[in-house]
Structure 1
Amino acid sequence: MASKATMLTVPGPDGDREVRISSPDRVLWPQLGLTKLDLAHYLVAVGDAFVRANGDRPVSLQRFPEGVDGEQFFSKNPPKGAPDYVRAVTVTYPSARAHPQMVIDEPAAAVWAAQMNTVVFHPWASRAERSDHPDQLRIDLDPQPGTDFHDAVPAALELRKVLDEAGLTAWIKTSGNRGLHVYAPIEPEWEFLDVRHAVIAAARELERRMPEQVTTAWWKEERGERIFVDFNQANRDRTIAGAYSPRALPHASVSTPLRWEELSETDPRTHTVRSIPERLRTVGDPWEDMHAQPARIDALLAWWERDLADGLGEMPFPPDYPKMPGEPPRVQPSRARKQQA
């Protein structure tokens, strides 16, 4: 029999709100016995930091009605029945279609999304009112088979130097799984394609410096046991788990902002729904001032143009994207060789 609904008091900028949590005892993380109500309490506890990191952005919701081991789906349109403090903004997708997406302005909105069985929050790199112009440059360092989190650490440290040379300040967080996410706040003056080119320029420079440890190869068969710099996460409507977002993994990990000096000693498995509220109370939010001094990407775009002149062209786009100007053929290299034989 389903448990009775409960009301949860959620503090916010406009005072307390009462958010109804139906089926509060529904288990979302079976291995730990963590429930929907536990998730809601987590979002209350981290509310200010969560909204600071993910608020005022279009956000996609990864929802798990039967817990993290069950079926899941993404909500891009706001779920029906949203309260009046949950707003939406219309954004344009790569297909040129436009749809509304939810925007989180206060902790109660995140708690309401959890009531709708959202576990993972995927915010855009742009603000709600300027959704075509990212204010974050994001680089996903993705360990490939045979590598792990600790192999990504040296790549992140060197990437920090690369971005610094281009005039950008890098910020770091765990992905909540095996990888690392490097962000840099930027002036919202460029469209997604320009920011993607800036990311590719940085990724190529990192690959030059660490060719045995890092790769920009889009096709998995070419990556080897290296850290893949996923430049396509910089595309329009491509999102990664937001800072302080839980992940749908058995140990209820959280994508966690770090100070750079913490990185080499961090075990990402220790940053969980259970541990992060205490971390915020004792360590604080390493990303609190991230957007105080946004930078420009002119230097990275100059690197992009330099590489174009040297014969390094456009990189592949995701398979669901329309064919893009200058893009190489979307054919797996081994298959292309067979076709040419």
Structure 2
Amino acid sequence: MPERQVTEVEGRRLVLSHLDKVLWPATGWTKGEALYYYAQIAPAMLPHLRGRAASFLRFPAGIGEEGFFAKNPPPGLPDWVRTVTAPSHEGPKQRVAVDDLPTLMTVANGYALELHVPQWTAESGPDAHDRLVVDLDPGPGADLTHCCLVALLIREALAADGLVCRPKTSGSKGLHLYAALRPTPAREVSDYARALAERLAREYPALVVSRMTKALRRGKVFVDWSQNATAKTTAAPYTLRATSVPGVSAPVSWSEVEQCTDPAELTFSPEQVLDRFAEQGDLLAELLSDDQALPDPAD
């Protein structure tokens, strides 16, 4: 295969390189296969990325070698790629907005194997979050099945507050739960998520922990509410994950969560995710149209 291939994607000229380079040595999965996956999943993935200040986990030497987390737009980025302003400790910074297929292919060609986005869009601004996210992370001695049990508890708790949430796998060991919101001040979203996690930890102390301290997490699920901070990002729906074999942060149905008895039941390869999308569509599609309000803290 040629080292460089010139192609056109939606009217944009792209130069794709090293497509036969193996990025996942355990399976022989190549850069070309990663680009093919992103091109095929783009109709489902892009709506969840559009307008959000993306950051990337890049692995130029492949999985198993040292990667790095990148927030700044990479050198040589085409001038047609849109950037948006995001806050940082050093003041406002420009970040890539993965709004379209040419941009997605450009960043993936630059070895951005994982894409992460915040819970706000540039349109509403960093202090107006349109998603509540809860990251369920199993500690030692716990696994994805324990996360499923906690997810059902969270679904019930949110429903009592009039909120519908939707699940996806983290693509590694845990689950992510999303509730779409009308733009809401970041502090209110973060405070609500924290109160929810702390309440569950009090009510189910043998199963749930709300503090990050690793010594507290054995046999339990850490309900990470901190992902709602404006500066934090979460693995985007459908992103590849830098696991030893290619993993995907894949939307799942609540019936799959309810029936899960083995982590393998909610572990999907990129090929399986493409098949699921072809058969079921985007299981997170309603997240894009939901418009929910957090309960009034005074109630």
TM-score after normalising by structure 1: 0.82
Aligned to 2:256: 262
CA distance in 2, matches of 1:134, 1:252: 30
Given the alignment, which residue of 276, 284, 288 partners 1:287?
Answer: 284
**1:275 aligned counterpart, secondary structure:** helix
Task: Say which structure, 1 or 2, has more relative contact order (CA 8 Å, 6+ apart).
Answer: 2
Given the alignment, which residue of 186, 200, 203 partners 1:206?
Answer: 200
**1:296 aligned counterpart, secondary structure:** coil
Aligned to 1:41: 36
CA distance in 1, matches of 2:256, 2:24: 28
Deviations 1:78-135 (A, max 9, x none): 1122224311111112x26211011011122111101110000011110022222111
User: Unmatched 5+ residue regions in structure 1?
Assistant: 304-341
**Percent identity at matched positions?**
31
**2:164 aligned counterpart, secondary structure:** coil
Counterparts in 2 of 1:258-337, with a 5 A limit?
A: 258-263=252-257, 264-265=259-260, 267=264, 270-299=267-296, 301-302=297-298
Return the offset for 1:16: 4.7
CA distance in 2, matches of 1:87, 1:268: 38
Given the alignment, which residue of 211, 230, 233 partners 1:217?
Answer: 211
Aligned to 1:5: 4
Return the offset for 1:232: 1.5
Tell me if the contact between 2:54 and 2:118 (Cα under 8 Å) persists in the aligned partners.
yes
Tell me if the contact between 2:206 and 2:220 (Cα under 8 Å) persists in the aligned partners.
yes
Supply the AA of the counterpart residue of 2:209.
Answer: T
Task: Specify whether residues 70 and 302 from structure 1 end up closer, same or farther in structure 2 by C-alpha distance, changes over 3 A only.
Answer: farther
State the aligned residue count.
295
User: Unmatched 5+ residue regions in structure 2?
Assistant: none
Tell me if the contact between 2:140 and 2:217 (Cα under 8 Å) persists in the aligned partners.
no
Tell me if the contact between 1:244 and 1:256 (Cα under 8 Å) persists in the aligned partners.
yes
Tell me if the contact between 2:120 and 2:127 (Cα under 8 Å) persists in the aligned partners.
yes
Supply the AA of the counterpart residue of 1:197.
Answer: D
Supply the AA of the counterpart residue of 1:128.
Answer: A
Aligned to 1:313: none
Tell me if the contact between 1:50 and 1:107 (Cα under 8 Å) persists in the aligned partners.
no
CA distance in 2, matches of 1:19, 1:154: 45
Aligned to 1:185: 180
TM-score after normalising by structure 2: 0.93
**1:298 aligned counterpart, secondary structure:** coil
Compute the RMSD of aligned alpha carbons. Answer: 1.8
Given the alignment, which residue of 127, 130, 138 partners 1:135?
Answer: 130
Structure number with bigger Rg: 1
